[in-house]
A and B are shown apart, each in its own frame.
Chain A
Amino acid sequence: MKLTKSHHTILGALMACSTAIPTSAFAEELNVVMFSMPYTRALAELEADFEAATGHTVNIDVIGQDVFENRITLSFTGGSGDIDVVHAPVIQLQRWVTANWLRPVTAEVAAMDTKDDILAGPLDSFVVNGEQWGLPFLAGVGMMAYRTDILKAAGYDAPPATWGEMLEVAAAVDTPETAAIAMRVAPGQGFNMFVYPQIMRAYGGAFFADYPTDLTPNMNTAEGLEGLNTYMSLMNDYGPDGIGNFNFGEVTAAMQNGQVAMIIDESGLIAQTLDPEKSKMAADISIAAVPSGPAGRSPAIAVHGLGMPADAPHPEASFAFMEWATSADVQAKIAISASFADFTRASVASDQAVIDNFKSIHPEFLNIRVAMLNDAIGHYRPLIPQWPAIGAAVGENINAAVNGILSPQEALEAADQEIADILADG
């Protein structure tokens, strides 16, 4: 049967590459696939630096995220060997490792001189089954941006520190012209499921009974319900029109254009609202920590890095690129040229030019970012191979609740049920 044969080809390709002999004395031509974000676009413009430093040629292909997911799924499934280095979000890592799509780089990383300069949290998040599967270039955390003028006019000198206060401030500042708050609501494991767990966890909710030992779904609890109700109230009562389909783009744009008084999103995007070239309101915007709740603070965290596909034909050259693209040098350059705040090298934060750049953006920016990094837990979104499917399913149910298609109770029940189904399915 044709199919069986093609699957053998896949397995064959996987086996062939695990025994591939590294060849590196020669200049290789590398294909790097990344999805579009400020860092990757800036990196693509530095291609020539890498070529000058190593003698390899590199083609960095920066594409839309949706297009990216398609392309790599097909390339890896087919074992096509046409990608040398791939953009690897930690949230996909378990899935990719389980599917045998990546090649571990444990030995290479251990041999790096500058290994200790990499922030431990982001680096460790690339460890699965005791092996290192990539190098981080981005660690984004949850952060709040707020309009000082609007809050002051309502009598608040400081931004809300808890979600309870947030409800109160939102009620006070919400007007038909300027809504109080915007966060991502569009369904997706990287969309609403990036911001929603901040509230869920602050109220003591969790995805599972006791991660990672007991993976019984556990979203439908009193704490979980309280978190969901808070999120729904903030979005529906104090959010802008159409919030139910807002994604990061709309959230950031709403803040930049003065349509909303507060947003909570990822640090890299918060930095964009402080940039006078992109943000009409930059002068009136300040930043703060993510609010906390009865169970403490759990800022969102997203770590992205570079991994080596299992079928990459030139492992040594691939790793040379991974090392270069995540190096302190390159990160510092991009931290200045693109105001990239999510760097993963400790030394970048002590680079005077970088410090000056962020001082001019906001004096507290780097400090708040570090505080959020310290508060964030590694398994903010559970690190299991099924997460992409679970995140999508839960995200759809949470979105349905916000948009009134399901009651909060029904949404959480459905979420638990679907998590159980996905885990049972493999």
Chain B
Amino acid sequence: MPKRDMSFKKIAGVTMMLACLAFTFLPIIWSFILSFRPTTHLFEPIWQSPTQLTWDNFQTLARSDFPFALFNSVVTAGGSTILAMIIGVPAGFALAKGRSQRKFIASWALLLLRMAPPVGFVIPLFLIYLNIGLLDTWIGLIAAYMVLTLPMVVWSSWTSLSQIPDELIEASLLDGASLFQTLVKVVLPAARPGIVATAVLAFLIAWNDFFFALVITRSDTVTAPVAIMNFVSYASVDWGSIALASIVLTLPTVPVIIFANKYIVQSMGGAVKG
């Protein structure tokens, strides 16, 4: 291969990657800039007054309901992830290793649930919650998030547990372990990347939700994505606080995804290998 050609292609490739990295990061850098700019300098380019920075937005944020909403988000997203894992992983295991004629239907149903348009069923959901007293409670929101997370957990653990060799399970069963013991002591440790990836994805789905929280929370359990919208008020859009709130809302999940993305790739690798 001609060397010159190689290096030209290499440069083109590196340029493309740098462009992609810029596309990924410029909006993030921009939101950092926004969050440190005083309101009076928000509308002039940063290079005109690069030293005009402020901590005001931190105070605004600290005084608002946002920290409380963030706590609600952690509780509800965390709670629903744990619950969905407890319920969903055994189901995924059963689908992966059990004998059933209806697996195709099951996979379709799981996808369909994941895709159902929330707009349509919020009113029925709201009325049910109202009548059983789950409105504006952590339990209610955790349960509602199960609609989002459970199909994902079942689907994803089904995929990753399918890759566990049958022999491993048979050996454990022959040793006299029950099926449930086998799942917990043998299968789960062997499928750790997939299980971690599943939990992370489930958490993100619940963490990012806007619509369910909009409908079934009130002041006691409002979550952070809804609370952000409170900075869009009549009279002004508080861009600085919005940007800062977005950063704060994203920060806790960044280490998680940086740590877990390799597991996601590994676990999906099984699902989509050609």
Contact = CB atoms under 8 A, between A and B. Distances in A.
Given A61-B218, A257-B43, A66 B229 contact: yes
B33 interface: no
Interface string B195-239: 000000000000000000011001100000010011111111100
A6 B236 contact: no
A52 interface: no
Interface in B111-159: 122-124, 126-128, 130-131, 135-136
B268 interface: no
A6 B124 CA distance: 9
Contacts of B39: 278
Interface stretch (A74-82, A98-106, A122-130, A388-396): A74-82
16 contacts: A6-B131, A9-B130, A9-B131, A10-B127, A36-B234, A37-B235, A38-B234, A64-B232, A65-B232, A70-B214, A70-B215, A74-B123, A77-B127, A78-B127, A78-B130, A249-B236
A38 B235 contact: yes
A102 to B, nearest CB: 19
A272 interface: yes
Interface in B236-264: 236-237
Given A67-B229, A80-B130, A257-B44, A61 B219 contact: yes
A302 to B, nearest CB: 10
A211 to B, nearest CB: 27
B123 A268 contact: no
A77 B214 contact: no
Contacts of A249: 232, 235-237
Given A61-B219, A70-B215, A41 B233 contact: yes
A268 B235 contact: yes
A71 B57 CA distance: 27
A420 interface: no
Interface in A23-61: 31, 35-38, 41, 59, 61
B40 interface: yes
A73 B62 CA distance: 30
Interface of A: 3, 6, 9-10, 31, 35-38, 41, 59, 61-67, 70-71, 74, 77-78, 80, 82, 248-250, 252-254, 256-257, 259, 268-269, 272, 278, 280
B42 interface: yes
Interface majority SS on A: helix, strand, loop or mixed?
Answer: helix
Closest 9 CB pairs of A and B: A36-B233, A257-B43, A249-B237, A37-B234, A64-B229, A78-B130, A61-B219, A6-B127, A64-B230
B43 A74 contact: no
A74 B219 contact: no
Contacts of A61: 218-219
Contact of A35 (B42, B234, B236): B234
Interface residues of B, number: 29
Contacts of A280: 40
Given A36-B230, A253-B42, 4 more contacts: A6-B131, A67-B230, A78-B126, A249-B236
Contacts of A31: 219
Nearest to A7: B127
A257 B42 contact: yes
Contacts of B230: 36, 62-64, 67
Q: Most chain-A Cβ atoms within 10 A of its Cβ — which of B124, B219, B235?
A: B235
Given A6-B127, A59-B219, A257-B44, A37 B135 contact: no
Contacts of A41: 233
Q: Most chain-B Cβ atoms within 10 A of its Cβ — which of A59, A78, A278?
A: A78
A278 B40 contact: yes
Nearest to A36: B233
A14 to B, nearest CB: 13
Contacts of B236: 249, 252-253, 272, 278
Nearest to B230: A64
Given A74-B215, A253-B43, A272-B235, A80 B135 contact: yes
Contacts of A80: 130, 135
A37 B122 CA distance: 28
B211 to A, nearest CB: 9
Contacts of A272: 235-236
Nearest to B211: A70
A65 B233 CA distance: 7
Given A64-B229, A74-B215, A78-B130, A248 B234 contact: yes
A41 B126 CA distance: 28
B117 to A, nearest CB: 16
Contacts of A77: 123, 126-127
Nearest to B214: A70
Contacts of B127: 6, 9-10, 77-78
Q: Most chain-A Cβ atoms within 10 A of its Cβ — which of B126, B218, B226?
A: B218
Interface in B69-116: none
A9 to B, nearest CB: 6
B35 to A, nearest CB: 17
